């Protein structure tokens, strides 16, 4: 939509012009539907809806006038023990859990004595305001009262009853994480922080309250989401036990390997230059860093680090799985031999094409008159290059199959490693094209600078078309170079995609969507006049785009992010395009 | 308390407005958009198939026809799931917040909930939309750093686009609830 006027401009007659902020008068509400002064919000866990009568315990948030109920304490209990237990829980979890009121579930006929007993409890556990929730047999609608000691009589508070799923609220994480930076339990959140985040925070921090279930022999009998039996999985427990020695062993191995890599042998000049230029070494180094991060002995400090570890682990697993699949396909039916046999003729063919092109240019290309001397010099120079290159390829030809066989074995390290090796092989095989491109581009660049400095002299006069010899040569080479650059760019893009996609987060969003929450949504349940408003609070999951954006893993190369436009611009102005990206290098 | 009415949108099409009041501080407005018309669906399918048959006559490859079938099916599914909105709902709960739900033709529902603490005001704005000047209802959000500034404008009923009469009704209800909300939040 195209916005013309901002601000509160309401014109009853559809006139444009200077916005007039005339407010419409609100309707006089009908008598009888007067909105009461105080609104009390009660967050009730849906797992406790069928619990027996007892006391309600939870947290009271006075700024928002809301009560978050965490559990129900059943009869019989001793009030002193209840207070003791609550103070212990408060010390451990740093959440102010108190007795908020009473819950009465009349499964049989209405019991008068129970009602009076519950009323008396209000005097033992003093809390302002004192909640009284009760449910009749066979009825969906509850009766809610609040008692305020100061006023003495029950007030006309409007109560909103919001049901929430305790398990999902406990395991979910709100995005954007407002309280993730200060994980200290005693920190009071900022007054304008999200109010619903406070509810989630309360449930998440009261984990210690949910550790006892009804099969434990404790002083109190509680009802909450774990009261049917604490949820756990044998596989997860076994994995946790096994992970400590496995992590230690792997950390040792990885430190050995990285120590070897950093040894003095590789520091000498020719070797270090080559290692830094090959993308394979970078990719392997990157994966090594990842492995060290995942198998380190430290536990993840916060949610972000945990997700990052999980994402890297799943990404590594997928990488290795794809690599092994490729390996099994490649080593069947002598495909390596076929590949090696096909490589030499292709190189020969490309060399022959280049020689033909150069012969054509040295003659009279497209009827243009050229500088004979320069033509011959450059042409012979390039022909000699090609001759050298072909000789080297022919020298290597008996060993190519063996080299390919051993290089193919590296696929068990991962698909990304194979792709990087492929990209490096392409770069090495087309090295001669790169050399020609460099010579041609440098000469062309010089000519362009010369021209541009002379441009001012030619302005206003008759435009003289100056043709350069190296011009046409470098245009054709540019096409070849562009093709190579495009292929390499695609390979790097694929590698980056596999590297940076947060697979674990996407899987979590697919299977357990309540874990990653963008917010909440409310559904209004059946209402009855005179009863409190009943709402169901559900978790609104994060969209896939936000998941990818939040949990993207950082990659080392920014090659695909360079727009193709800037690439073409570089080609036109003769600036060099480097095929190898170094970590932290800025483009020329 | 429920009420159903038929109103018109900015193009003159018919919309169904359903207004519900669950309690004095909780109101819901439901706008039903016109359904997918058979005429436009037939026209689109015929166009795609004519092009496919033309290409088939040129290149005699039956893959063209299969691709046309796939394109039509996927396009229709994508349109129903991502583009065509069936119903838009605005639920305003005093002291909790404002919730906007859009239900798509395939059954997907996308919900946004804005807490009452973040809502500065609900207003009706004018806008230039193509060659018309239209009114639209929007929610102004407070800036967390500076409470007097407006950080974001969230338009409501973006695909239904009702006319001013419906907007005035929704505006009045919202202002009533917001006014009481302001009173309760300032009183001790």
Q: Does B66 reach chain A within 8 Å, measured CB to CB?
A: no
Q: What is the pLDDT of residues B153-178, one digit of tens each?
A: 999 999 999 999 999 999 999 999 99
User: For chain A, how far is it from start to end, CA to CA, in angstroms?
Assistant: 42
Is B112 within 8 Å of B99 (Cβ atoms)?
yes
How many distinct helices (H) and strands (E) make up chain B?
3, 9
Of A65 and A183, the structure prediction assigns the larger pLDDT to A65
Q: Is the pLDDT of residue A182 over 50?
A: no
Return the domain boundaries, chain B: 2-36+84-185, 38-82
Predicted pLDDT of residue A448 = 78
Of A538 and A571, the structure prediction assigns the larger pLDDT to A538
Q: What is the pLDDT of residues A250-301, one digit of tens each?
A: 888 888 888 887 776 666 777 777 777 777 887 888 888 888 888 887 777 7
ipTM rounded to 2 decimals: 0.85
Same domain, A87 and A169: yes
Q: What is the pLDDT of residues B129-162, one digit of tens each?
A: 889 899 999 999 988 888 788 899 999 999 999 9
pTM over the 0.80 mark: no
Asked if residue A352 is part of any domain, the answer here is yes
Instruction: Calculate ∠ Cα A22-A28-A34, nearest 5°.
Output: 130
**Could you give the CA distance from residue A532 to residue A133 in angstroms, rounded to a whole number?**
11
Chain position carrying tokens 């096409």: A479
Q: Which two tokens stand for residue A334?
A: 């002598």
Q: Which of A 290-319 lie inside 8 A of B, CB atoms?
A: none
Same domain, A127 and A246: no
Same domain, A285 and A218: no
Ranges of H-type helices in A51-191: 79-93, 112-124, 166-171
Q: Which two tokens stand for residue A153?
A: 């009589």
Same domain, A171 and A122: yes
Flag the least confident range among A248-257, A406-415, A426-435, B84-93.
A426-435
Q: What is the pLDDT of residues A329-343, one digit of tens each?
A: 888 877 888 888 888
- Residue among A27, A527, A533 minimizing CB distance to B176: A27
Predicted pLDDT of residue B46 = 94
Is A535 within 8 Å of A525 (Cβ atoms)?
yes
Same domain, A321 and A377: no
Same domain, A247 and A270: yes
**Could you give the CA distance from residue A100 to residue A84 in angstroms, rounded to a whole number?**
16
How many distinct helices (H) and strands (E) make up chain A?
16, 12
Q: Which one, of A490, A356, A354, lies nearest residue A430 by Cα?
A: A354
Same domain, A244 and A352: no
Asked if A27 lies within 8 A of B28 by C-beta distance, the reply is no
Instruction: Calculate ∠ Cα B39-B40-B42, nearest 5°.
Output: 65
Asked if residue A22 is part of any domain, the answer here is no
Distance between A549 CA and the closest CA of chain B, angstroms: 19
Q: What is the pLDDT of residues A25-35, one digit of tens each?
A: 444 444 444 44
Same domain, A143 and A251: no
Asked if B26 lies within 8 A of A35 by C-beta distance, the reply is no
For residue B97, which phi and psi values (nearest 5 degrees)?
A: 165, -170
What average pLDDT score do residues A397-416 get? Answer: 84
Q: Burial-class residue A563 by CB neighbours within 10 Å (0-12, 13-18, 19+).
A: exposed
Q: Does B185 reach chain A within 8 Å, measured CB to CB?
A: no
Q: Does A112 reach chain B within 8 Å, measured CB to CB?
A: no
Same domain, A321 and A360: no
Asked if B24 lies within 8 A of A33 by C-beta distance, the reply is yes
| Domain end marker among A293, A314, A331 | A331
Question: b/e map of A152-190 (b: 16 or more CB within 10 Å)?
Answer: eeebebbbbbbbbbbbbbbebbbbeeebeeeeeeeeeee
Domains identified in chain A, total number: 3
Query: Which structural domain range is residue A87 located in?
Result: 37-176+191-231+518-579
Helix (H, G, I), strand (E, B) or coil at A414: coil
Q: Does B96 reach chain A within 8 Å, measured CB to CB?
A: yes
Same domain, A444 and A568: no
| Domain end marker among A331, A364, A394 | A331
Predicted pLDDT of residue A128 = 78
Q: Does B126 reach chain A within 8 Å, measured CB to CB?
A: yes
Distance between B162 CA and the closest CA of chain A, angstroms: 14
Cβ-based neighbours of A104, under 8 Å, separated by 6 or more:
A53, A114, A115, A118, A132, A133, A134, A135
Count of CB atoms within 10 A of residue A251's CB?
15
A20 secondary structure, DSSP code: -
Q: What percent of chain A has pLDDT over 70?
A: 77
Across the beta sheet with B150-155, what order do the strands follow? A2-3, B119-129, B132-142, B150-155
Asked if residue A81 is part of any domain, the answer here is yes
**Could you give the CA distance from residue A75 to residue A54 in angstroms, rounded to a whole number?**
6
A428 secondary structure, DSSP code: H
Same domain, A65 and A167: yes
Q: Does A14 reach chain B within 8 Å, measured CB to CB?
A: yes
Instruction: Calculate ∠ Cα B53-B58-B59, nearest 5°.
Output: 100
| Domain end marker among A331, A359, A375 | A331
Same domain, A199 and A249: no
Q: Does B18 reach chain A within 8 Å, measured CB to CB?
A: no
Give the torsion sign (CA, B181, B182, B185, B188).
negative
What average pLDDT score do residues A67-94 get? Answer: 87
Chain A interface, best mutation among B29, B101, B111, B150, by max A CB count within 10 A: B111
Give the torsion sign (CA, A169, A171, A177, A180).
positive
Helix (H, G, I), strand (E, B) or coil at B187: coil
Asked if residue A523 is part of any domain, the answer here is yes
């Amino acid at each position: 939509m195209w916005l013309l006027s901002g601000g509160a401009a309401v014109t009853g007659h559809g006139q444009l012009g200077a916005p007039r902020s005339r407010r419409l008068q609100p309707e006089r509400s009908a008598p009888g539907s007067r909105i009461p002064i105080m609104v009390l919000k009660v967050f009730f866990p849906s797992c406790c809806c069928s619990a027996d009568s007892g006391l309600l315990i939870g947290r009271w948030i006075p700024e928002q006038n809301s009560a978050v109920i965490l559990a129900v304490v059943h009869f019989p209990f001793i009030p002193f023990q209840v207070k003791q237990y609550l103070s212990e829980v408060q010390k451990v979890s740093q959440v102010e859990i108190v007795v908020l009121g009473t819950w009465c579930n009349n499964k049989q006929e209405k019991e008068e004595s129970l009602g009076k007993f519950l009323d008396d409890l209000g005097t033992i556990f003093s809390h302002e305001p004192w909640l009284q929730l009760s449910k009749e047999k066979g009825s969906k609608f509850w009766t809610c009262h609040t008692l305020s000691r100061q006023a003495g009589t029950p007030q006309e508070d409007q109560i909103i009853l919001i049901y929430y799923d305790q398990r999902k609220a406990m395991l979910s994480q709100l995005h954007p994480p407002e309280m993730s930076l200060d994980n200290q339990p005693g920190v009071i959140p900022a007054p304008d922080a999200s109010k619903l985040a406070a509810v989630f925070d309360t449930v998440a921090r009261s984990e210690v309250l949910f550790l006892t279930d009804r099969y434990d022999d404790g002083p109190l009998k509680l009802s909450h989401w774990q009261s049917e039996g604490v949820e756990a999985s044998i596989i997860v427990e076994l994995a946790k036990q096994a992970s400590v020695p496995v992590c230690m062993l792997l950390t040792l191995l990885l430190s050995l390997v990285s120590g070897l890599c950093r040894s003095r042998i590789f520091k000498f000049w020719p070797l270090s230059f080559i290692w830094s230029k090959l993308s394979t070494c970078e990719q392997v180094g990157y994966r090594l860093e990842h492995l060290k991060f995942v198998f380190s002995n430290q536990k993840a400090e916060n949610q972000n680090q945990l997700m990052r570890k999980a994402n890297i682990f799943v990404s590594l697993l997928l990488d290795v799985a794809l690599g092994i699949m490729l390996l099994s396909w490649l080593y069947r039916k002598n495909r390596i031999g076929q590949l090696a046999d096909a490589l030499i003729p292709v190189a020969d063919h490309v060399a022959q094409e280049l020689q033909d092109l150069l012969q054509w240019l040295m003659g009279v290309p497209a009827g243009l008159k050229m500088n004979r001397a320069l033509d011959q010099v450059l042409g012979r120079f390039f022909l000699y290059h090609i001759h050298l290159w072909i000789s080297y390829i022919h020298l290597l030809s008996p060993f190519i199959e063996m080299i390919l066989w051993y290089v193919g074995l590296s696929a068990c390290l991962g698909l990304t490693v194979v792709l990087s090796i492929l990209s490096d092989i392409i770069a090495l095989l087309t090295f001669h094209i790169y050399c020609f491109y460099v010579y041609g581009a440098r000469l062309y660049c010089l000519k362009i600078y010369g021209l541009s400095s002379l441009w001012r002299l030619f302005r206003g006069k008759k435009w003289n078309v100056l043709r350069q010899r190296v011009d046409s040569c470098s245009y054709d080479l540019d096409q070849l170079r562009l093709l190579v650059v495009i292929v390499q760019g695609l390979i790097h893009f694929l590698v980056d995609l596999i590297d940076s996609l947060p697979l674990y987060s996407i899987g979590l969003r697919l299977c357990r969507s309540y874990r990653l929450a963008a917010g909440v949504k409310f559904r209004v349940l059946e209402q009855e006049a005179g009863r409190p408003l009943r709402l169901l609070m559900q978790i609104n999951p994060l969209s896939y785009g936000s998941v990818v954006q939040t949990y993207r893993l950082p990659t080392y190369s920014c090659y695909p992010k360079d727009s193709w436009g800037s690439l073409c611009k570089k080609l036109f102005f003769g600036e060099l395009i480097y095929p190898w990206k170094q970590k932290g290098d800025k483009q020329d | 308390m429920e009420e159903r009415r038929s109103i018109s949108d900015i193009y003159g099409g018919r919309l169904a407005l359903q207004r519900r009041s669950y309690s004095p501080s909780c109101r819901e407005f439901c706008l039903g958009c016109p359904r997918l018309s058979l005429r436009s669906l037939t026209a689109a399918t015929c166009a795609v198939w004519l092009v496919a048959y033309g290409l088939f006559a040129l290149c005699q490859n039956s893959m063209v026809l299969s691709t046309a079938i796939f394109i039509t099916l996927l396009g229709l599914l994508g349109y129903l799931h991502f583009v065509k909105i069936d119903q838009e709902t605005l639920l305003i709960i005093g002291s909790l917040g404002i919730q906007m739900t859009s239900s798509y033709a395939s059954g997907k529902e996308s919900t946004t909930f804005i807490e009452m603490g973040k809502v500065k005001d609900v207003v009706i704005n004018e806008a230039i939309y193509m060659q018309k000047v239209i009114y639209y209802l929007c929610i102004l959000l407070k800036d967390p750093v500076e409470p007097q500034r407006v950080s974001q404008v969230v338009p409501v009923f973006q695909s239904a686009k009702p006319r001013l009469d419906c907007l005035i009704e929704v505006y009045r209800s919202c202002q009533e609830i917001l006014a009481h909300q302001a009173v309760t939040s300032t009183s001790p």
